[in-house]
């Protein structure tokens, strides 16, 4: 606001606009906090359009800054004409390969702003080559911060919601699973998991926790949206299992997202039960269920995973590998594992309860679900 010229300010905040908003306030059609947001939005949109339409002396730095502010303030509520204006400036800023700190901060801010596009539909020709180049360059040179790299992936994987043709690019060309494994394993090694007091966990550990949770936002979107699987998925599941075990005695929130991701994978149609078995996911589910104290949300997710896995073997065998004999061998291994850990008791005790909760959208109920279960 301080940098706006007087004529720019006056062209945005007109008397007519103020009168209209004042009338809406009087009629209680809008709250004051929303008035402030509305006025900011009007100002940003007008500045972007007018600056972009200039034929000469276009201030690209100003446009980039305004685009970033707009994205971070208004999330994905973007009119189509402004989307076309914003995207090129943000991608251009994010593609800067200079090594100085100022340039890295600008790249990080541009990529973070790109996540503000949410799941809105965008034509591939507007972004795909640029975002691929950003990700591939980082994989070779490691020039991005963790936040910037996560943001690049989040922007791309969010596009899967409207464009399934991106699956091959994400999985086989940019190798998302391989990169996620690398990041999770590095974070698992580097975090000091033994700190128990909350005040001691502030600082580096708190930041690392945020980084891990951001990766899981992307991982869970990938599991639910992408149908392609490859040979790296066993190690991928193993990296989630390893993180769960590392965080088990100190960071319950991290354990929660690990369990949720396992449940999501178990319910995912293209996921192979054999991958879950070999990756150690089934062991983790039972480890969580056998704890003396259970988080209600984790209980639900564990039971979701157990029922999803056991459901694969009900009725006609779902042949995952194209060979009945191989599929039966997987089935046998899974059931042996479940029986070792009390599979029969768990299914008998919980199946009816889960049916009851499913009918009532259990994830929205404010009750102590674990109180209804026998601690086996």
Specify the 3-state DSSP secondary structure of 267.
Answer: helix
**Residue 14 is assigned to a structural domain of this protein:** no
pTM: 0.73
Total Cβ atoms within 10 A of residue 157: 21
111, part of any domain: no
d(CA 39, CA 21): 9
Question: Tell me: the pLDDT tens digits for 270-325?
Answer: 888 888 888 999 888 888 877 766 666 787 788 788 878 777 765 434 444 444 45
Task: Determine, yes or no, domain membership for 254.
Answer: yes
**In Å, what is the CA distance from 319 to each residue of 87, 270, 274, 329, 331?**
44, 11, 11, 11, 10
Sort 351 into a burial class: Cβ within 10 Å, 0-12 / 13-18 / 19+: middle
Please give the residue range of the domain that contains residue 348.
Answer: 225-376
Provide CB contacts within 8 A for 119, sequence distance 6+. 76, 158, 159, 161, 162
Instruction: Provide the domain count of the chain.
Output: 1
Contacts of 29 (CB under 8 A, 6+ apart): none
Q: Would you give per-residue pLDDT tens digits along the chain (376 residues)?
A: 455 555 555 555 556 666 666 676 677 666 666 555 555 555 566 666 666 777 666 777 766 776 666 666 555 555 556 677 778 888 999 999 998 988 898 899 889 888 888 888 889 999 999 999 999 999 999 999 999 999 999 999 999 999 999 999 999 999 999 999 999 999 898 877 765 445 455 555 567 888 899 999 999 999 999 998 888 999 999 999 999 998 887 777 898 899 999 999 988 878 888 888 889 998 888 888 777 666 667 877 887 888 787 777 654 344 444 444 566 777 777 777 666 665 555 555 555 555 555 554 444 444 455 554 544 3
In a domain, 61, yes or no: no
- With respect to residue 210, please indicate whether it lies within any of the assigned structural domains: no
Could you give phi then psi for residue 134, rounded to 5 degrees? -60, -45
Domain assignment present for 147: no
Q: What tens digit of pLDDT does each residue of 2-27 get? A: 555 555 555 555 566 666 666 766 77
DSSP conformation letters of 339-360: HHTTHHHHHHHHHHHHHHHHHT
> Does residue 167 lie within any of the structural domains?
no
Residue 205 located in a structural domain: no
């Amino acid at each position: 606001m301080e940098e706006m010229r007087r004529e720019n300010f006056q062209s945005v905040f007109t008397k007519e606009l103020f009168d209209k908003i004042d009338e809406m306030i009087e009629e209680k059609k809008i709250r004051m906090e929303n008035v402030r947001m509305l006025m900011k939005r009007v100002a940003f949109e007008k500045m972007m359009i007018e600056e972009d339409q200039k034929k000469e002396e276009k201030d690209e730095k100003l446009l980039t800054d305004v685009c970033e502010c707009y994205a971070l303030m208004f999330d994905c509520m973007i009119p189509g004409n402004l989307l076309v204006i914003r995207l090129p400036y943000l991608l251009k800023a994010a593609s800067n390969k200079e090594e100085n700190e100022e340039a890295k901060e600008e790249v990080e801010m541009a990529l973070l702003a790109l996540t503000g596009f949410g799941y809105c539909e965008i034509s591939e020709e507007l972004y795909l080559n640029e975002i691929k180049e950003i990700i591939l360059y980082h994989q070779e040179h490691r020039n991005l911060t963790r936040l910037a790299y996560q943001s690049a992936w989040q922007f791309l994987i969010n596009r899967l919601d409207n464009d399934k043709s991106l699956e091959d690019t994400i999985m086989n060309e940019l190798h998302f699973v391989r990169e996620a494994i690398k990041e999770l394993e590095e974070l698992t090694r580097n975090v000091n998991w033994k700190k128990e007091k909350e005040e001691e966990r502030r600082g580096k550990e708190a930041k690392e926790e945020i980084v891990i949770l951001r990766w899981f936002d992307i991982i869970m979107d990938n599991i639910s949206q992408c149908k392609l699987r490859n040979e790296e998925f066993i190690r991928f599941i193993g990296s989630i299992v390893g993180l769960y075990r590392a965080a088990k005695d100190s960071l319950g929130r991290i354990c929660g997202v690990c369990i949720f991701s396992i449940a999501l994978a178990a319910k995912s149609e293209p996921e192979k039960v054999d991958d879950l078995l070999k990756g150690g996911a089934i062991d983790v589910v039972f480890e969580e269920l056998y704890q003396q104290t259970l988080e209600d949300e984790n209980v639900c997710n564990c039971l979701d995973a157990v029922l999803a896995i056991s459901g694969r073997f009900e009725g006609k065998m779902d042949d995952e590998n194209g060979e009945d004999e191989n599929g039966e061998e997987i089935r046998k291994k899974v059931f042996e594992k479940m029986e070792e850990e009390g599979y029969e008791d768990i299914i008998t005790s919980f199946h009816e309860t889960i049916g009851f909760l499913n009918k009532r959208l259990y994830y929205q109920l404010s009750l102590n679900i674990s109180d209804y279960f026998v601690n086996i």
